[in-house]
Amino acid sequence: MRFLHPEEPRRDDGNETVPFLDLKAQYRAIEAEVFPAVRNVLEKGCYILGDEVAAFEKEFATYQGAEHGIGVNSGTSSLHLALLAAGVGPGDEVITVSCTFVATVAAIIYSGARPVLVDVNPLTLTIDPSAIEKALTRKTKAIIPVHLHGHPADMDPILEIGKRHNLVIIEDACQAHGAEYKGRRVGSIGTFGCFSFYPGKNLGAYGEGGMVVTNDASAAEMIRKFRDWGTKTKYHHELKGYNYRMEGIQGAILRVKLRHLEQWTEARRKHAARYHKLLDGLNLTLPVETPSSRHVYHIYAIQVAQREKVQSLLTERGIQTGIHYPVPVHLQPAYYDLGYKLGNLPNTEAAAASLLSLPMFPELTARQQDRVVEVLKDCCGNRPQEGILSMMEQSSLVSD
């Protein structure tokens, strides 16, 4: 997908296009801070790990409320290493959701364990604790709740199940930097918290990056070895490790960006509140934020009937949207061998058919947001018989 820049020429109809995401707007705002940070790394010659990564690990772990942070080269690597440090391997089962980005499930497969996919709460789109209970077997070793779109999973019942069955809880917080559950930052609630710094995430590098946070000192030590070929001292391999190291330049950039994260998150929350207010009463379902949560709106996803039609009407009129995600993992051809079929996870499947992500990024302007709302109102209308879609529907009924 090409992300249109707001400065690009106006469309023929005189309206500006609204991008789904505008990473360049954010870069322009912090360029003066980023440049010296990058130059410093280049001049010091510390390109892999090093001081900047070590400082970022401390700062980010503290921000998430954890004692240790281990910087890696992606969110996927952080999940993989958390699983290995939890002792998960062949013969084990790990319970997670299908309503997620594919990496959650892929990391379980990398560890050699079998992913067991369960359904989500239809309102929050996070793992349904009662579904976890039903999926437990003697082989279950860990649970990976995903804080999807930036809304925390309901951690208390998950922790309780974990305690009762001696399971490791690994939070997939790749979309949830700064999110809170009952006043606690996600990532430090379970034994491990896994984060991604992919450029489009709420805290994004200018390249790849990820981190595991934990309060378990010996697990942290193990992950530190795993990410760097199983070594503590160069060329002495204590574990069969990986090349999952974070780059110095990314560490330096992420330190700069972390200083802005709270302000960016508050901007996202303000935009979400405004969408809520302006879209209230239309023929669509708005995302929820439970009272015990701080949602960080990595994604602002509405649910609509005839999603493909709504999306193409929006696209025609210059509003870029996304779908997170159109096909749940259990129905992806690559994972047919897990043995699931259509109908197995009804809430997940219904969400995949109706989710539509609206433009959401800290720099989104009120004018851009008004434009999104205006076009959505034209598409969906206030009442069932209103809006372009229902008119199309009625005319097709007539012509059929």
| Active-site annotation holds for 201 | yes
Closer to ligand PLP by CB, 75 or 187: give it: 75
353, 305 contact by CB (below 8 A): no
Comparison of 77 and 191: residue with beta carbon closer to ligand PLP? 77
Q: How far apart are CA 354 and CA 310, in angstroms?
A: 10
What Å distances lie between residue 250 and 42, 44, 47, CA to CA?
12, 14, 9
Catalytic residue among 24, 182, 201, 225: 201
Query: How far is 395 from 400, CA to CA, in rounded Å?
Result: 9
Asked if 313 and 388 touch (Cβ cutoff 8 Å), the reply is yes
User: In the chain, where does DSSP find H-type helix?
Assistant: 23-44, 51-64, 75-85, 103-111, 129-135, 155-165, 217-227, 248-279, 307-316, 346-354, 366-380, 387-399
Q: Compare residues 172 and 363 and give the one whose CB is closer to ligand PLP.
A: 172
**Closest Cα partner for 329 from 126, 106, 70, 164?**
106
* Shortest distance in whole angstroms from residue 76 CB to ligand PLP: 3
Closest distance to ligand PLP from the beta carbon of 203 (Å): 11
Dmax over CA atoms of the chain, in Å, equals 76
- Hey, is 315 helix, strand or coil? helix
Nearer to ligand PLP by C-beta: 150 or 381? 150
Say how far apart CA 272 and CA 282 lie, in whole Å: 16
Q: Nearer to ligand PLP by C-beta: 75 or 248? A: 75
**Closest CB 91 distance from ligand PLP, rounded Å:** 24
Contact residues toward ligand PLP (CB under 6 A) are 74-76, 100-101, 103-104, 146, 172, 174-175, 196, 198, 210
Closest Cα partner for 367 from 26, 18, 25, 23?
18
Place of tokens 């080269």: 73
- Shortest separation between residue 237's beta carbon and ligand PLP, angstroms: 25
| Residue 192 or 198 with smaller CB distance to ligand PLP | 198
CB of 371 to ligand PLP, least distance (A): 27
As measured in angstroms, the least distance from the Cβ of 78 to ligand PLP is: 8
Number of other CB atoms surrounding residue 141 within 10 Å: 20
User: Which residues are annotated as catalytic?
Assistant: 201
